[in-house]
Amino acid sequence: MVEMHNQVTNIGGFSFTERFVLGIGATNEEEGVILAKAQDGRKVALKILNANPGDPKYEEFHKCMRTEINALKALNHQHVMEIVGAGLDEQWTENGQQMRGDFIATLLECNGELYEFVDSTRGGFEEPISRQLFSQMLSGVTYMHQQGIVNRDLKLDNMLIGDDYTIKIADFGFAITIEGRDSDGKMYT
């Protein structure tokens, strides 16, 4: 879906003049993940959560955004999405309307989800490609665990794939430290 704007919208140094929705998140809102540009011209995926204080679901998603920001800031690996900006309780103007919410900007270095790729090939890969993809997934997951972070939402939809079959692990909204939510070692999965 593409929604045109009459003016440029800026959120924390990232701008867009149209909402080209890259994906719909757990909120099932059209905000989802949109294509934007950083001030240096790089393409970014901008995940936006519009504020809705008092709504229990908003509070839960706001907590997930904070978790995702913290996890991405702690990780720096070739097979994990690179965060380039984030904000909680930010304010911006979009089409003349005052907006408030959270955002996460990650470099856009992919062509879609691994799920779409698997679906388009009807699940069949040549062995060298399968080996390469699986090796990259393991590399990313091993690194996350070495950094003390568990994703808890690994699935093909959250594995992004680039032109050269490079995997990027995305969506850390349910991430948790290895110590666990209550520092008792339990992940509550």
Residues 79 and 137 grouped into a single domain: no
3-class SS of residue 144: helix
The structure tokens listed for 158 are 């959250």
Neighbour tally for 88: CB within 10 Å: 14
Tell me the residue range of the domain where 84 lies. Answer: 2-107
Residue tagged 């936006």 (tokens):
48
Report, as residue numbers or ranges, the catalytic residues.
153
Per-residue pLDDT at 108: 87
* Cα angle value 91/95/96 (rounded, 5°): 70
Residues 58 and 148 grouped into a single domain: no
pTM of the predicted structure, to 2 decimals? 0.84
Per-residue pLDDT at 72: 96
Distance from C-alpha of 70 to C-alpha of 83, rounded to nearest angstrom: 10
Residues 76 and 147 grouped into a single domain: no
pLDDT exceeds cutoff 90 at 178: no
pLDDT in tens, 73-130: 999 999 999 999 999 999 988 878 888 999 999 998 888 889 988 888 886 788 998 8
Average pLDDT over residues 133-154: 95
pLDDT in tens, 6-55: 567 888 888 877 666 666 655 545 456 888 888 888 888 888 888 887 88
Residues 17 and 45 grouped into a single domain: yes
* Cα angle value 170/117/162 (rounded, 5°): 55
